[in-house]
Each structure stands twice: as C-alpha cells, then as structure tokens.
Chains A and B, each alone.
Chain A
Amino acid sequence: MKRLYVLFDGECSMCGRCRTWLARQPAFLELHFLPFQSPEVARRFPGIADLHPEEQLLVVSDEGGVYRGSHAWIMCLYALRDYRELSLRLAHPALLPLARRFCELLSENRFRVSRWLDRLGANRLAENLAIRSVQ
C-alpha cells in the first residue's frame, strides 16, 4: 500500500478544511484527494456508486481496498507520520465503537458544522476588517 484515495464531499466546507489539514501533515503514504462529485471518481473506480460515497467518507487504497466512515478516518490518520500511533490505538476493538459513533455524528451533521465554521470565519474576517478600517 503506497497511496490512499480520499473521496470527500466537495460541497461541504468542513470536509474541505479537513482535507487542507490532512494535506499539510507529513505522511508515510501518499494521500490523493478527490471530491466524490468529480467525474474522475467514476472513471477511476468503476462501481463506486454502489458504495454510496455521498453518505460517509470513503478511502480507497491503491490496491482497491475500501474503507468507510470511521475506518476511513483511521486509515487517513494511519497515513500520517505524527498520527499513525493514534490510528493504531483507535483501531483497537475497545475504542473503535467510540470512533464509529463520533464519525457518524460528524458525518450526519457535516453541513451544520460547516455553517458554524463558515460563520466563525466570517465573523473573524469582519472583525479584522473593522480593526483595519479603524486604523
């Protein structure tokens, strides 16, 4: 396994932020990000639609192994140099249900979280603009 394809929701800004964060981390495996809406996804992974990439995060390895939801998140962490240890810990049977619950919650509420993050960003921008206009 040398590369992981991360199929995320291109219309969700929280997913975009996560993608930016993931891409910045030093990694053991190459991470390749594809929004599931892009036509390249269907071309590169024939039959991916049956796995419902719109429902939760999907990670596909270069060998064709598919990971969904919490498993996909754990595989993303596994690819990162500084978070591999955490991923091994999270994959332990004692912690996996907790990780699954958390990922389901995050997946279901991703648009709500995105709106909240966007509002936060907009407020910060407004504050900065206000400070600048006073100066």
Chain B
Amino acid sequence: MTPIVWTYLSYLILSLSLTVWVARTLHKNGRIFLVDAFLGNEQLADSINHLLVVGFYLINIGYVSLALREGQMPIDLQGVLETLSRKVGIVLLVLGGMHFFNLLVFSKMRKRALLHRAPPPLPPQAHIPVAAE
C-alpha cells in the first residue's frame, strides 16, 4: 500500500469515530434540553433528538467523504502525518461548527417554550368585575 492509501484509511477511521463520538454526546446531553423545550413531552423530544442526530450524521459523513481526495501525494511518513492532521483538523472544525449550530437550535427551542409559559410582566393597576358574556 502506498502512503496516500494509509493517509486515506487513517483519515476515514479518525473522522468517522470523531463524528460518532460527537453525535452520541449530543444525543445523550441534548435530550434533557429538548424535553424541557417540548414542555415535558418526552416522546416528541426523543423523536426530534433522533432526527437531529440522523441529520448530523448525514452532513458530517457526507463532508468527510467529499473531502477525502487529496491532490498532493505524500511520499514519506512526515507527509502522511501533515496531510492527515490538516484533513482531520478541518473535520474537527466542521464538527465544532455543527455542534454550536445544534446548541443554538436547542436553546432557541427552549427559549421559545419558556416564553410560552412566561408570567405577565406587569401586575394589574386596578381590578374591575367582568360580566359573563
């Protein structure tokens, strides 16, 4: 096997395992956020959580596959390591970006749910009886 194949193989193993790790972390820790955002509706929260993780996998694995091909052929171990670290670095940045995007979505949902339950901001200034219709 040539050095480039080694680079490709290590790149795939590293990026895919990182993707799986981040997705599992999001799945595990995002759940409590979502349950709160959906007013305690656990079934809905679990379903949305699962769908979000599927989307996360699709985008990341898609990106990893697209970014696999390398123009410059490394000829020795130093070249392999340099290429590998650059490629994995980009994947990590993409994962980080996706992670923050997910957090943003979660916190937006949660904020919206909290708004729904927010008490009136001001106390009434007077009281009068209201006749029934």
A residues engaging B (CB < 8 A)?
A: 1, 5, 28, 43-48, 51, 60-68, 71, 74-75, 78, 84-85, 87-88, 90-91
* Chain B: interface size category: 10 to 19
A130 to chain B, nearest CB (A): 46
Given A51-B126, A66-B125, A66-B126, also A75-B131 (CB < 8 A)? no
Q: Contacting B122 at CB < 8 Å: which of A28, A46, A74?
A: A74
Please name all residues of chain B whose beta carbon is closer than 8 Å to the beta carbon of A90 when the two chains form the complex. 121
Interface of A is mostly: mixed
Please name all residues of chain B whose beta carbon is closer than 8 Å to the beta carbon of A91 when the two chains form the complex. 121-122
Q: Contacting B124 at CB < 8 Å: which of A5, A47, A48, A61?
A: A61
Please name all residues of chain B whose beta carbon is closer than 8 Å to the beta carbon of A87 when the two chains form the complex. 121
Chain B 114-128, CB within 8 Å of chain A: the 1/0 string? 011010111111111
Please name all residues of chain A whose beta carbon is closer than 8 Å to the beta carbon of B116 when the two chains form the complex. 28
Q: Nearest B residue to A44 by beta-carbon distance?
A: B131
B13 at the interface (CB under 8 A from A): no
Please name all residues of chain B whose beta carbon is closer than 8 Å to the beta carbon of A61 when the two chains form the complex. 120, 124
CB-based contact B131/A46 at 8 Å? yes
Please name all residues of chain A whose beta carbon is closer than 8 Å to the beta carbon of B118 when the two chains form the complex. 84, 88
Max chain A C-beta neighbours (<10 A), residue from B115, B121, B127, B129: B121
Instruction: Provide 17 A-B residue pairs closer than 8 Å at the C-beta atoms, listed in order of the A residue.
Output: A43-B131, A45-B130, A46-B128, A60-B128, A61-B120, A64-B129, A64-B130, A65-B127, A66-B125, A71-B125, A74-B121, A74-B122, A75-B122, A78-B120, A85-B115, A87-B121, A91-B122
